[in-house]
Chains A and B, each alone.
Chain A
Amino acid sequence: MLKSTIVDTRVRLRPSKKVLEFLAKHKEHFDDAPANLAQILKKNGYKLLEKTTILKDSEISTKRPAIDTKLLAKLTSNVSDLTATEESEQEEEQEELEDEKPQPVDGSYLYLTDLHWLHDVMIKLRAKDITNVFLHELIESCELILPENEFKPRNPELEARCQRLREQQQNREYQKMTKNVDATLQHYPEDTIAYQLKSINKQIIAVAQFIFSVAAGFTFGFFGVNLMVGPLPFGFRILLGVIVALVIALAEMYFLAKKLHEYDEVFDAPKRKQAEESVKSSGVQKVKPHIE
């Protein structure tokens, strides 16, 4: 099982009956409702009034509320940072959870925009003295669902491919190991014509590229500059051509050396690996007591 990335970063709240009942009770006091909330109410058998307009998510302001830190400090000045009481509180909460009413329909969640709307509505309701319930009292009964990683099994195709590649690798290693035992495998694959042609081809192409670019450089110096600037003496043209060709040859030489070195490494790599391994194993053998 692999952890996949979180797709939905939104915080979700599963609304409790209390919230829905509260909303249904006060539905005549608000003129609009977010689409999501309206849907949840509908799903759970509550009806909104017909005059209620449905808001889109973009129409609700979701600014982070400003926290009055001074007021917070003032109000909590008489509360010490007790940790012992927390446990008992948690126990109480658990008890509350147990005797909760049955959950509403699955898959209906309140999002941040809905909460913002609810917050605004409750401020209005409190101002009109219709209710004195606070948002935190309502959402205490709700279940908070945090964004989580989904677990999904590894793609079987990928698994099969990995397995195949691993087998190929092991096969190759085994053949290398048994090369000097089996006579038919003795010259495989280095001595097959295809293998040799392939490696020669690669190197020939690299060298041909080098020759071509040098020739092109010389041509440019010999003809191109003459055409651009005007008639030049023959000796000077040759000199120019040689200089340009030299510069290109130097640059190209660097790349050619790098490339050829890489080819060598590719061909040597398995052998070198074996050599390293043998060095290691011999190092281990030194520890063993000598037979003699």
Chain B
Amino acid sequence: MTADNCKSDKNATGQLLDSLYLDMFHLIEEHTQCRLDIERTNASGAILLARTKFQQGGQSLSSAQIPTENSAEFNALCRVVDKTDDDKTDKVSIERHSVDKENGYVEPLHWFSVLPPMSLRTAVERFKKSIELVAESTNLQRELAKVLNGIDRLRRSLAL
């Protein structure tokens, strides 16, 4: 009975380890893809910013447009929120607040001009997307760490 039990236990461990390994490969691939997407969106955002500057001319921006220490305070539009899922994995998500001037949520795009050029707007979109991708990548990385930890523990329990 105990031998049988032991065998089934070993079987279960083996199967679990197999699926953990497969999951690890999946996660590595997804994580790489995610990092690649971050790189791409960031690069295209930077190019669009450069284009905006090129179109507007070099001297069109002054430091007076950007808030300094003495200017009025405002709240952040975008926050990183830690969420605990039902399967006990910490997940990071991005929370965005709608623009609301009375409560201190200002649109930073309007510091530069009332009618921002198309390229600047697209650049903002790209960078927003990139932040979301960073959150996704963090989640994947945490999952991967969990799977690696599981593999490590399982292998040690096998060795015992």
- Say whether A97 faces chain B, with CB atoms less than 8 Å apart: no
- Contact A9:B154 (CB < 8 A) given known A115-B22, A134-B14: no
B16 adjacent to A67 (CB under 8 Å):
yes
- Say whether A68 faces chain B, with CB atoms less than 8 Å apart: yes
How many interface residues does chain B have, given as a range? 35 or more
Query: Please, could you name 12 A-B residue pairs with CB atoms under 8 Å apart, sorted by A?
Result: A5-B39, A6-B32, A66-B19, A67-B23, A72-B16, A76-B156, A81-B153, A112-B26, A116-B22, A119-B18, A135-B18, A136-B18
- Say whether B13 faces chain A, with CB atoms less than 8 Å apart: yes
| CA gap between A126 and B15 in the complex, in Å | 10
Contacts between chains A and B (CB distance < 8 A), count: 98
- Say whether B122 faces chain A, with CB atoms less than 8 Å apart: no
Interface string of A61-72 (1 = CB under 8 A from B): 000111111011
- Say whether B160 faces chain A, with CB atoms less than 8 Å apart: yes
Least Cβ–Cβ distance between A116 and chain B, in angstroms = 7
Chain A residues near B25: list those with CB within 8 A.
Answer: 11, 112, 115
How many interface residues does chain A have, given as a range? 35 or more
A134 adjacent to B18 (CB under 8 Å):
yes
- Say whether B135 faces chain A, with CB atoms less than 8 Å apart: no
Residues of A within 8 A of B (CB): 5-6, 9-11, 64-69, 71-72, 75-76, 78-79, 81-82, 85-86, 112, 115-116, 119, 122-123, 126, 134-137, 139, 146-147, 262, 265, 269
- Contact A9:B23 (CB < 8 A) given known A69-B87, A262-B57: no
- Say whether B40 faces chain A, with CB atoms less than 8 Å apart: yes
Interface string of B3-38 (1 = CB under 8 A from A): 000000101111111111111011011001101100
A68 adjacent to B57 (CB under 8 Å):
no
Q: Which of B15, B29, B36, B39 contacts A112 (CB 8 A)?
A: B29
A75 adjacent to B57 (CB under 8 Å):
no
Report the nearest A residue to B36, measured CB to CB.
A6
